[in-house]
Structure 1
Amino acid sequence: MTTQRVLVIKLGALGDFVQAMGPFAAIRAHHAGARITLLTTRPFAELAAACPWFDEVWLDDKPPLWRLDKVLVLAARLRGGHFGRVYDLQTSDRSSWYFRLMGQGVEWSGIAKGCSHPHANPRRDFMHTIERQREQLAMAGINKVPPPDLAWAEAAPGRFDIPGRFVLLVPGGAPHRPAKRWPVERFGRVALWLAERGFTPVLLGTNKERAEIDTIRAICPQAVDLAERTGFPDIIALARRAEAALGNDTGPMHLIAAGGCPSVVLFSHDSDPALCAPRGNVTVLRRPSLAELGESEVEAALDGMLPAP
């Protein structure tokens, strides 16, 4: 018997990728004997390869439409995959265009015009990502979508031996959206408050947050700097050991919350938690401007999550 081939499309961004992990698991359970391929982008290659739901991972470099040579290569690869069913969890104009590249005969769940299993809800853009994807899959015949279970991350050996109890701090965010960042000096003073209570603050970020990390370390020298040292699987493993986490509305906080870590996530007017907030043991604090959010309220939210010193 020919093994069914299934394609799942999820190109990014990180928070959206994390919120698709429940649907990934549901698709795997529904197509238990199928060969499932994930089409994603290069930043998520390591995380995708570590996930237990896919037999192979393809990378999409998202060629511009005017690069006909690259488009034809992508089209040949998609058609050559001989996929019987496609779950487009990206549901963008670009991923819907892939429906046309693949030609007729493939079952397609998404929003592409003419597809076999459309997510036919005109208010889909007003739904939280998790509810929207759950409804999309229900319309394609998958009625049970679990919350993400990232226990598989425990199988990866931990690379960081942080003694005692620790709290993750994520002070960064997209450079082009500064309104989503809480003032870094307040992160530093909360880090000092944590250290005084016996919890080691652990700082996560990239080279784009180097100035913020250095500022926090200047205020709280006890903080551990892991900036530029953690891949996405590392963040999940750390989240499963941490006592709590504090961060801006950014992708790593989705990973941390999905890993089961009690989390305080900070939102400004720049994004709507009703549509995109992480789910789980999460407290959302929101102000029109994050400059209006005081340290005492953040500390109170964390205090409700932390064990007694």
Structure 2
Amino acid sequence: MKQILIVAPAWVGDAIMAQPLYAELQRQHPGAAIDVLAPAWTRPVHARMPEIREAIDNPFGHGELALKKRWAIGRTLKARGYDQAILLPNSLKSALVPAFAGIPVRTGWLGESRYGLLNDWRRLDKDRYPKMVERFVALAVADGAPLPAGHHYPQLKIDPAARAATLAKLGLDTAKPIVACCPGAEYGPAKRWPARHFAEFARKRMARGEQVWLFGSNKDAGIAGEIAALAPGVINLASQTSLAEAIDLMSLAAVAVCNDSGLMHVAAALNVPLAAVYGSSSPGFTPPLTEHAEIVSLQLSCSPCFKRTCPLEHMNCLNQLDADRVDAAVERLIPIKPVG
């Protein structure tokens, strides 16, 4: 049985986009033991990927070198006898633990002068692999080999029993069609559709007899609270659920509206019809990976700028993207009939 250690990404969305790599590794090596070294906050995502045997907590913060700690973890992992390590981040630091563990094959894209730490290194051709998911899956095959056929769409499993328990705990009712709204975006405000637009959209959907659930973490409580105040009747679940609970509950949605965020990739991996709102970022690199998505973007000349905050201080790419445009996209995705 082949044993593979994946050094996984730190962002939830990126972690989800790595799932097609794990599926391809299992296809090539049936029964392979695949473990991921990843931040603890991504554990709920990895728990929903049946290809993964174990998630090992990566305790290092962004930019933290901590050579002694990395050496200690590497020596602990050495005893597991991994045959290969695949490194998804491109940093020098991410390559240290597999090298300290003495894993015989260490695969990854060149970055930050990692020649001595990788022994199966690849030189990235961004034109050949424009999407992040393609760059991940390419590491499952020999250098220069064509990508495996298929769409490479991530898939997350849900826990029906846990979902029922969460519904009961929160007193949620699924009788009316559910519209999931995810107003947060970890990267910065230039990726967040304004609260007033989300609220107007929510009012339109509730007027049709649907219910609107807001999803997000503690960091999204502010914008979710603004939306709830502007659209009385929405169900504000932001900061009220764990990530695992949010995954289960979102699987019940008839449609989702999300910024370019981790929860957007959750919705896509659950195959929920999805309107994905893009401002400062680009769907060319990290699109929602599903057949049931529609990109909503004004495609202004100043976007995508890939900035956390608008460098022109107007954020027209999102401020001028009104609720009617998103509502029309939702209608095209899934025309939900009013209740009653």
Asked whether the 8 Å contact 2:24–2:137 carries over to 1, the reply is no
Moved more, 187-196 or 135-144: 135-144
Paired residue for 1:33? 31
Instruction: Provide runs of 4+ in structure 1 moved above 6 Å.
Output: none
Q: Which moved more, 1:147-156 or 1:256-265?
A: 147-156
State the one-letter code of the partner of 1:88.
Answer: L
Are 2:181 and 1:169 equivalent residues in the alignment? yes
How far did residue 264 of structure 1 move?
A: 0.9
Please provide the CA RMSD for this pair.
Answer: 2.5
Question: Residue 183 of structure 2 contacts residue 223 of structure 2 at CA under 8 Å; is this kept in 1?
Answer: yes
- Taking structure 1 as the reference length, the TM-score comes to 0.88
Deviates more, 1:106-115 or 1:199-208: 106-115
Compute the displacement of 1:282 (Å).
1.3
3-state SS in 1 of match to 2:52: coil
Instruction: Name the SS of the counterpart of 1:236 in structure 2.
Output: helix
Amino acid of the structure 2 residue aligned with 1:294: D
Provide closer, same or farther for how the CA distance between residues 68 and 120 of structure 1 changes in structure 2, counting only shifts above 3 A.
closer
Say which of 271, 288, 308 aligns to 1:278: 288
2:232 to 221, 235, 247: 221
What residue in structure 2 maps to residue 86 of structure 1? 85
Match of residue 184, structure 1, among 195, 206, 209:
195
SS of the equivalent of 2:30 reads coil
Where in structure 2 are there 5+ consecutive unaligned residues? 304-316
Contact 1:8 1:37 in 2 (8 A): yes
* Distance change in 2, residues 1:168/1:65 (3 Å): closer
What corresponds to 1:249 in structure 2? 260
**CA distance, structure 2, for counterparts of residue 259 and residue 157 of structure 1:** 14
Which segment is superposed worse, 154-163 or 282-291?
Answer: 154-163
| C-alpha contact 1:239 1:260 (8 A) present in aligned 2 | no
> Structure 1 or 2: larger helix share?
1
Identity of aligned residues (%): 24
Distance in 2 between the 1:66 and 1:255 partners? 30
In structure 2, the CA distance between the partners of 1:99 and 1:38, relative to structure 1 (3 Å rule), is closer
- Deviations, residues 249-285 of structure 1 (Å, cap 9, x unaligned): 11111101110011111111x2221011211111111
C-alpha distance in structure 1 between counterparts of 2:85 and 2:149, whole Å: 18
Aligned equivalents of 2:128, 2:59: Cα separation in 1: 26
Structure 2 residue aligned with 1:122: 125
Give the match's secondary structure for 2:284: helix
Q: Which deviations, in whole Å up to 9, do the C-alpha atoms of 1:174-233 show, x marking residues without a partner?
A: 2x6211111101111110100001110001112222222222122222111111122333
Contact 2:192-2:318 within 8 A present in 1 as well: yes
Query: How far apart, CA to CA, are the structure 2 residues paired with 1:106 and 1:234?
Result: 38
Deviates more, 1:61-70 or 1:72-81: 61-70
132-141 or 14-23, which moves further after superposition?
Answer: 132-141
Contact 1:26/1:144 (<8 A) preserved: no
Higher alpha-carbon deviation: 246-255 or 140-149: 140-149
DSSP-derived class of the 1:308 partner: coil
Distance 1:65 1:308, change over 3 A: closer
Q: Secondary structure at the match of 2:285?
A: helix
The correspondence for 1:193, drawn from 204, 207, 210, is: 204
Distance of aligned partners of 1:184 and 1:157 in 2 relative to their CA distance in 1, 3 Å threshold: closer
What amino acid is the match of 2:121? P
146-155 or 223-232, larger mean C-alpha shift: 146-155
Q: 1:5 aligns with which of 3, 6, 11?
A: 3
Asked whether the equivalents of residues 126 and 275 of structure 1 are also in contact (C-alpha less than 8 Å), the reply is no
- For residue 321 of structure 2, what is the amino acid of its counterpart? L
Letter of the structure 2 residue corresponding to residue 165 of structure 1 = P
On the 8 A contact 2:214/2:238 being kept in 1, the answer is yes
One-letter code aligned to 1:80: A
Report the AA paired with residue 85 of structure 1: Q
1:56-95 equivalence runs, <5 A:
56-62=54-60, 67-95=66-94
Is the 2:260–2:277 Cα contact (8 Å) retained in structure 1? yes
Q: What is the aligned partner in structure 1 of residue 52 from structure 2?
A: 54
TM-score normalised per structure 2: 0.81
Name the amino acid aligned to 1:97.
L
Aligned length: 304
Unaligned runs of 5+ in 1: none
